[in-house]
Amino acid sequence: MFSVVIQIFYSVLATFLGLLAVWLLICILYRVTRGFFRRKKGKRRQKPVSVMIVVGSGGHTTEILRLMSGVEGKYYPRHFVVARCDRISEKKIHTFEHRRVYGSEAEKNYKVHRIPRSRSVGQSYITSILTTLYASLYCFPLVCKIRPNVILCNGPGTCIPLCFAGLFLKHLLLLDINIVYVESLCRVQTLSLSARLLLPIIDHILVQWPQLKEKYPEYIHKCFTKAIEATGYLLLRIS
């Protein structure tokens, strides 16, 4: 019995180290080539901007929908991604979209996609590796199918495989994908675990407390006290 446990432990450890090596390689390649994929200044999109919005649960859902309330009509279609078991957030998305007023029928275009949850509340980090790998099997085909111009997230663990899928497809297929991370209002002194993992590959990260900007000056260049102000800034930068 003990030998079986040891084998499982080493298998999980080997998987984790392999993922870590791949993650470091992707980060290095991204750092080297990121300038090649940046749009030239002054060049703006004429077409609608497709947005993938990663929705967490509870406070994450409230914050991301508040962010989206400041988004103009040209940002469509909107693809909301939720955990498969999170029916409450899905209901809030439909309520949010049905209450909004858009200038045309095309601007009303949105869809909700369900994927497995990467990590549940209180789940150990070791088992989270396996569940994240499982979620990735759904994330890569989804991002490849949608091909969003923007991946917008604010901290749920579900965003990690989606962001890596976006980064991978951005370099493999030369897609114009911007990964935008808006840190949660509740993160005052330190970044969330999701933000720290994604920090090397994020195109834009926005925080709402000056302490974080001072702590990570090489990554964070703007600090906003209101989430809607942050939304307006980031959309101006990437549209």
Alpha-helical segments (H) within 124-209: 125-146, 159-172, 193-198
Omega before 156 within 30 of 0, i.e. cis: no
Phi-psi region of 58 (alpha: psi -120 to 50; beta: other; left: phi over 0): left
- Looking up tokens 């508040």, which residue turns up? 66
Residue 188, pLDDT score: 82
Residue 172 near residue 163 (C-beta atoms within 8 A): no
Per-residue pLDDT for 108 more than 70? Answer: yes
Q: What is the mean pLDDT of residues 90-95?
A: 94
Superfamily of domain 48-238 in the CATH hierarchy: Glycogen Phosphorylase B; (3.40.50.2000)
- Of the spans 1-10, 12-21, 157-166, which averages the highest pLDDT? 157-166
Question: Max CA-CA distance within the chain?
Answer: 65
Q: What is the mean pLDDT of residues 216-234?
A: 59
Query: What's the pTM value of the predicted model, to 2 decimals?
Result: 0.76
Residue 118, pLDDT score: 80
Residue 124, pLDDT score: 74
Among residues 152, 92, 156, 89, which one has the least CA distance to residue 120?
156
User: Which token pair is 81?
Assistant: 């991604």
Q: Where are the domains of the chain?
A: 48-238
Residue 45 near residue 142 (C-beta atoms within 8 A): no
End-to-end CA distance of the chain: 57
For residue range 9-52, list pLDDT tens digits in order: 567 667 766 766 676 676 666 655 555 545 444 455 567 889 99
